[in-house]
Structures are given as structure tokens and as C-alpha cells.
Structure 1
């Protein structure tokens, strides 16, 4: 186990790299995401043991978040977040699409806490139910 790769011929398992790059908290979560079809390598599905190379492109789906990243370096050890960020680079198209989705989410008010009915609204609901 070498940490970051010095030679371009080294390969790392996809689930290990996703864990080391801090896309997932555990390797088993990364494996589950790959098995669930949430990860694509170079436009095709992959298996957890798929060998990643420098220059590969990954499409990662986490919940509503969609990322497209290029592999800049390989690592099989999970280090600090400052090191993990150097392992990949998000494409500009992915970044703009993610920011646009975040803005759309804000505009729809999805982050607003649900409003409980006040006294007047409860009375209106009771009246409506009594009519039915």
C-alpha cells in the first residue's frame, strides 16, 4: 500500500479510491453505491474491484447530487480532506449544473421547515372534515 501513486501504471480499486477521496464515509458504502449503479467510470457501469487509472472520468450520484470528476492521482489510503481534494478535479460543466440545482432547490423553498397549522388553520381543517 503506497498512499499516493508516483508512477502512472499503478491502479487502485474503484471502491477504495472513492473512500480515499472522501466521496463516501466507508468503503462498504462506496461498494454499495457502485453495486447500485450510482457510479460510472468512463461512461460505463463498473464493479467495486474495477481498476482506476489516472485520467479516468467518474460520474457519481449521491442523493440528488450529481458529480463528474476526473481522476488526477491515485491513493489507497484515506488521509486528510486537504489531501483528498488533490486526488480529483470536478469538471466545469458538473460544477455549474450542481450550483444551478442548488439555486433551484433554494428557490423552491425545499429547505424551509414545515409550517404547523395555527389555531385558525386547525379550525378550518376541522370544518372541512365535518362537511365531508
Structure 2
């Protein structure tokens, strides 16, 4: 009877040993062990899906392409008044030409004519309404483009604009006040002189 109990205990120990060894083999050969060993990288090791080769904004890339399409042909030059109008520093090309003649637009610190040929790297200063825009030419274009495209054609080093309260609204009268008196006209002419506007013809 004691011999049967000893055989039974020996059989149980053998089965337990075989079971633990088998579980160890299955754990060693499972997919988890391969992941840990680095043979099969998991999702965290892979590159994120949909990642672009660079971080360029598609809108900026489209604006740059549009600016290059608006540029001159090989060997052609761009007039100053045309460039200033094209990049939306002034509202019309005629205003740009008038500002050049009046000395309100300067290139590299010099007073130039509207037909001056702009070059990449030129510093262009545009004085308007008590504020001076300071930009460096980055791309040459000769036709007016939208604001996002225009922003890709120059480097803006302008100082912050003055507050609106600092700009006197010369020539603006309240509705219903009628025609200005002689005293009102003298005051308007004084304000225009402070802003640099030419007086009206009498």
C-alpha cells in the first residue's frame, strides 16, 4: 500500500514538471516574446500613418506656387509701382506711381521713380497714413494676387501700426451738419497740413 502511494506521488511530481516546462516553452515561442525581442515591431515602433515627408503647410505651398506663376519671364524686370501694387501694399497702381513721385516710397533708403526695377533683397519703405511699411523683396511678381500669396513675396519688418486714436480723421464730418463754415475749412486745412495731405483747390 505504501509503495502505491510512493508511485502515485512520483507520478504527480513528474506531471507537474512536464506541465511547467511545457508552459515555459509555449511562452518562449509565443508572439509576445518575439515582440519584446524586437523581431516583430509593434504599433508603437512603426511610423505614424499619414505622416507627410515634411511639415510644409499645403496652403503655403499653394501660395508659393501661385506667387512663382505670377513672376516675370526670364530676363524681364518688374517696375516698383507694379510690384508694390501686386503685393497689396497700395490699393491701385496709379496710387503707387503717385506715391513714388511724391517720395512716399523709397528703395534702400533712396527716392526712386515708379519705373525703378525691383530686385530680390531690396528694402522697400512705403509711408501711408502716419505709418511706414518696411518690407524686403522676397519674390518678384507683376500682377496683383491675394493676400496669402502676397505675404509670400516679401519679408515684413514693419513696426506696429499706431492706434486709430492717434490718426486724426481729417475731412470727416458728422452727417446732417451741412456745409462747413470758413472756420471749419481753416481747421480742416490745418489738419490736412499736419498729415501731409495737399490742400484743396479753391
TM-score by length of 1: 0.67
Deviation (angstroms), 1:90 = 1.2
- Say whether residues 1:51 and 2:117 are aligned partners: yes
User: Which has the larger share of strand?
Assistant: 1
Gaps of 5+ in 2: 1-68, 174-202
TM-score by length of 2: 0.45
Q: Which has the higher contact order (CA 8 A, sep 6+)?
A: 1
Aligned to 2:89: 23
The alignment partner of 1:61 has SS state of strand
Deviation (angstroms), 1:110 = 6.4
Aligned to 2:98: 32
Cα distance 1:10–1:109, how it changes in 2: closer, same or farther (>3 A)?
closer
Aligned length: 104
Structure whose CA Rg is larger = 2
- Say whether residues 1:3 and 2:70 are aligned partners: yes
Aligned to 1:72: 138
Gaps of 5+ in 1: 115-132
Question: C-alpha distance in 1, partners of 2:167/2:130?
Answer: 15
Q: Answer yes or no: is the 8 Å Cα contact 2:130–2:167 preserved in 1.
A: no
